[in-house]
Each structure stands twice: as structure tokens, then as C-alpha cells.
Structure 1
Amino acid sequence: MNAYPFKGKHALVTGGTKGMGEAIVRSLVRSGATVITTARSLPMEPLAGVRYVEADVASADGTERVADVVKREFGHVDFLVNNVGGSSAPGGGALALTDAMWDAAIQVNLMSAVRLDRALLPAMVERGAGAIVHITSIQRRLPLFESTVAYAAAKAALANYSKSLANEFGPRGVRVNSVAPGFIETTAAQALVKRMAEHRQSSEDDARQVLMASLGGIPIGRPGTPEEVAELVAFLLSPLAASIHGAEFVIDGETIPTV
């Protein structure tokens, strides 16, 4: 098997300086890809050979800047991983959320992907080749009403949009799939636990247990790791997944117990 299956390929990964995004960047670099990644602030210790673009892809201006850098410096990308996402809304359920909080969740979790796809898909279609992976979430099927109402709704929209995109562009040579992580031990997950603890006036350990219980538990006994998600994403981008189109792969330790 080729040790560098992505040699000569260009990949854009949004939010690639921490958590799952960083793990995905590392995996693709190991496989030989030239990787461009985005972040609102540049890392203190950048990875060698990675092109960092300082931009907030939750905004139209930010996605335009990223697309301009890609087109000017690389011409096109072979792979696009829309990884950026998250929730900064407070706990307290649906009635605690303002219009601004809803808009923020939709911009980062849905529109960032929509805008970058719109900017970079034409070159993939013209070349008749490309692969896109959207990072959704099991919360699109298992929303946590106490803490992530808007986030869950935006991820559900992203999953629906991803399927539509696959139906439209699969026949034109572009594969679109999505990955739905469950509880993954990232810095963002740790921040969510902290916010829940503050809202509940409890310890972070107690809040973590509440979060685990709200998901129905994790049968394998632990959260997933960013590296596990990264390997799944790399597989979906690879030629080994050439016949996989319009699918969503759940990686949650069997948190969702239904078929």
C-alpha cells in the first residue's frame, strides 16, 4: 500500500489548529497531502509544511479570504473538510437563546460550509474530481435541550444539506460525505463541560457525568479521540472510499443505540 496516498493532493481543513481539526491536518500531512487550514488566530507552534490562513470562516468575509488564498496560491483543492463548528451559547434551554445566539450557531455550523463549498466546488466540478467531508454531530439526532439547542439544529441542517450536495454533484465526479462524532475529548468539549458546570453551579466532574448521562451513556466506556475521527475522515477522502457517496458515518462509541 502506498505510504503517501495523498501525495500531490491539496486539502483544505477548516479549524485545523486544535481538537479534531488539528488531528485531521496531521493525518493528511502524514499521508503526503499539501494542507491549508484556517483558524481565527494562528497557532503558537505551527506544523511544518502547513499553510495557515488566519480567518473567521463563520463570516462571509472570512470564507472569501480563505477561498482567495486557495485560488491564488494553490489553484484548487482536491479535498475539503468542513470541520469548523461548536456552540458558545449558554445553558438553560431554548428560551435562554436570543436571535443573535441562533444566528451565531447557524453561521459557524452551517453557513461556513455552505460558503466554502460554493467557492471551491466549481473547480472540482471542472476537473471532474474531488471529495468533501462535512463534520456534523450525533446531536442532529440526539439534541441536548439544556445546552446545545441551536448547535444541534444547525448540525441537522448541515447533514441535510450534505446529502443534497451529494445527490447533485456525485454524478459530476465530486464525492460528498459527512462524519457525525459523538462525545470526543476535545478542547471544545471541555469548554462545554465548564459552561454546564457554571450554569448548574456544580463541579466539572459532575457536569461531565450529566453530559454522559444525557447522551444515554457511552457503551464502550469512554469518549472518542480526535485521532479516531481523523482516521475516518482520511479514509473517506481516499480512493478506498471511491464508491461511498452521500453517507453519514457515526463515530460515537454506540451512544446512539438505534439503527
Structure 2
Amino acid sequence: MAAAGAFSAAIDRQSAAPMYDQLRRLIIDGISRDGMRPGDLLPGEHRLCEQYGISRTVVRQALAQLEHEGVVERVKGKGTFVARPRINENLVHTLVGLYEDVERRGGHVHSDVLRHEIEPASADVAEALGLEPGTPVVVLERLRIVDHDPWALATVWMPEEVGRVTFGADLSDASLYRLLADHGVRATTGVRSAEATVASHAQALLLGVSAGTALLRLRSVSRDASGRVIEFFIAHHRGDRSRFEFELREEDAQASLLHLDPRADR
């Protein structure tokens, strides 16, 4: 990790641009000019205040905006670092898994299997899978690691007749969807949703973040060609690593309007 440097140029106090935005731009230019890489340490707040003759409030506004944009990453007690770029993921609007999505980009996914067993379906799981509560289901909980970085916590529930083929398979470096497909089980339709949440203490420990850190929560139900539900999953992705990207078309927008929840504007 490179040591913090000093950015050049100066704040133009006659400019109509807010000082925090000028500093934001200077930091971005300095990162590019000096060839700084993800993980490199940036000058601290006190040093920036002294160099530019500005208040700590201005510095913190600039850094907060840069953190929101994914340019920097602030670690309490350690400093501000150049952030790793967020990866565009296609998991919300396509029936692919994280393994296939990352593999397509030339990356690698490793999974630490935290739980893989048969359990009675809770009310929520049973409803999602179209089963009676208490029906045996296969549960697979994994910590997904992308190119050595903890990325997501994912729990998948499958009807026992679907999930039983997963026992005995090594799912640490393999695709669950590919394994199911090899046994004739393929997802053809599904519904996925994404929402913002924050990391619990247990999630934070596994994902390498602080409790309360922003996460992206995916919820998905997939069906095979016959309409049978084959899986239900909930995954929590690190908000500082993932960015979900959508490709929109006119016909998609029209179709979405037909499915608006009439309760949405109540």
C-alpha cells in the first residue's frame, strides 16, 4: 500500500463552485495524475485542511461525496483509501448466479460453505417454495468470495427432491446452477428483487465490514419449465463492492407499468 501523498493546485476562493466540490475534483485529479491504485492511502483530513486552508467540514463534505461515488473508502481509525471499483452485476434481471456472472468477467468465485443440510421449512421458506411449513428442504448457506474479497452471504433453500443432488458435491469452487443443470434441473423463469439494508454484527464479521454498513439484499424465487419452484434464495452483497446494472428497453417499461402495485401510492 502506497503512502499518502499531497495533492497540488489550490482552492479558488473566487469561484462559484463550492469549496468542497473543488477539493473533490482536486482529489480525483490527484489520484489519476499520481497513478494511485486501489488500497493506496490518501492524505488525512488534518493535512488537507492545512494544505488548502479550509475547514474540516469542507474536507469531510468532499470525502463523503467521493465515498458515495465509490472513489474513496474511509476506514475508521485507519484513514481514507482509494476504493476498489465496484463491479457491475447482472444478477437482478437475469437468471444467472454469481459464479457465472463473475466467470464471464474473467474473475473467480470461491465459496466457504457455512451450512449444508436438511431442515424443516419455516413459514417464509415454505411460502416461497410453495410447500407446507415443516416440509423438509435442503438449505445451503455460503460466504461468496470474489477474487479473494468477501463479497456476499447467500442462503439457498431447495425442495428436498431438487436439493438432494447437491449432497456429496464440492460446492466451494463450483456453480450450484451448473450442478443442478447437470441433473436436469434448470431455471427458466423467476422473480428477483433488490433492496437496501445494513449489516448485522454476524454478517459484518463474515463480510469484513463494520456492523451497520450498507448491504444490498437480493431475494429470488426460480422455477423450471414446468412451473415448479426449484429454489429460493436470499443474498446480502457488500454495498462497497457491488453495483447492479439494468438494461432498459421501451417494451420493458410498458410491461412494468402493467404490474404496478395499486397500493404503491397509498
* TM-score of the superposed pair, with normalisation by structure 1: 0.25
Question: Over alpha carbons, which structure has the higher Rg?
Answer: 2
* TM-score of the superposed pair, with normalisation by structure 2: 0.24
Q: Which has the higher helix share?
A: 1
Q: Which has the higher strand share?
A: 2
